[in-house]
Amino acid sequence: MISYAYIIYIVGNNLLSTYPDFFSSPDFLDPNIEIYVITGFIFLIVFFLLCSWRELFLLNMCMFSLFSVFLVNPIYLGLDIMTDTEIGNYITDLSNQDDASWLVYGYNNMSQYALANGADVLNAINIYPHFDLWNVLDSDGVYYDVYNKRNMSIVVNDKAVDKPLVEPLSDSSIMLNIDPCDFKLNLLDVKYVISSYDLDYACLTKLQTFGVNRIYSRSTENMEKSTNEVEIEESTVVVE
């Protein structure tokens, strides 16, 4: 048992010298003390197990389990790192005022972040295909085999000209090519857009910028006027 504990101590020292960041948390406890504590716990656990002292074994196992996880985020730090931020609070406030849908362009990790802050994000990771979404975007089911996947991540691209609506990226992710002013997004009640790059569209009004992330409000009025103008122009061409 002593030799086993000594091996654990040696491994801990080697980890400390090779990967010091591994012992960076918790920051109030010296890394060497961490190694001593872990070594002592493992020695006692093995000792009580071999001696068949069940109660002491279970007690030390519970103490070791608690000690090893209660200082780990989110148990120690909480969820403030995700929710108590400027952009997180802003998304939460907008979501509380309006239960409209959101769409995220660019960095797809923001879709999960916005979801964690109360936003109804259409392109968040879905355990099952979001058929209410796809029945609107792909009413004919042309791309059914592409988006009919579990645990799927949807990356949205605004450069939709001359591109298919949906493109496969990997086994668990697809690319959705759609203009933020597309009329179909009205049917999905999309009123807010987050993008990691600038979007210059008539239907979008920039609300705030947080680092590389821009938050836009999406107006259906501008888009609808544009659609009507196109229809008038097409009717004019037919008459001529």
Domain boundary pick from 13, 44, 69: 69
Instruction: Identify whether 220 is part of a domain.
Output: yes
Question: How many domains does the chain contain in total?
Answer: 2
Are residues 191 and 210 both part of a single domain?
Answer: yes
Domain boundary pick from 34, 69, 104: 69
Instruction: Identify whether 208 is part of a domain.
Output: yes
Helix (H, G, I), strand (E, B) or coil at 211: coil
Tell me the residue ranges of DSSP E strands in the chain.
Answer: 101-105, 120-121, 153-157, 166-170, 173-177, 190-195, 204-210, 213-218
Instruction: Identify whether 205 is part of a domain.
Output: yes
Domain range holding 32?
2-69
Are residues 143 and 86 both part of a single domain?
Answer: yes
* Cα(175)–Cα(124) distance, integer angstroms: 13
Domain boundary pick from 14, 45, 69: 69
Please, is 130 exposed, middle or buried when counting C-beta atoms within 10 Å of its C-beta (0-12, 13-18, 19+)?
Answer: middle
State the pLDDT at residue 227: 42
pLDDT by 10s per residue, the chain, length 240: 666 667 777 777 777 777 666 666 666 677 777 777 777 888 888 888 888 888 888 888 888 777 766 666 555 555 666 667 899 999 999 999 988 999 999 888 899 899 989 899 999 888 888 888 899 999 899 999 988 887 778 888 888 788 899 998 888 889 999 999 999 999 999 999 999 999 999 999 999 999 899 999 998 775 544 444 344 344 433 433
* Cα(12)–Cα(30) distance, integer angstroms: 13
State the pLDDT at residue 75: 53
Question: Which bin fits 211, alpha (ψ -120 to 50), beta or left (φ > 0)?
Answer: left
Instruction: Identify whether 128 is part of a domain.
Output: yes
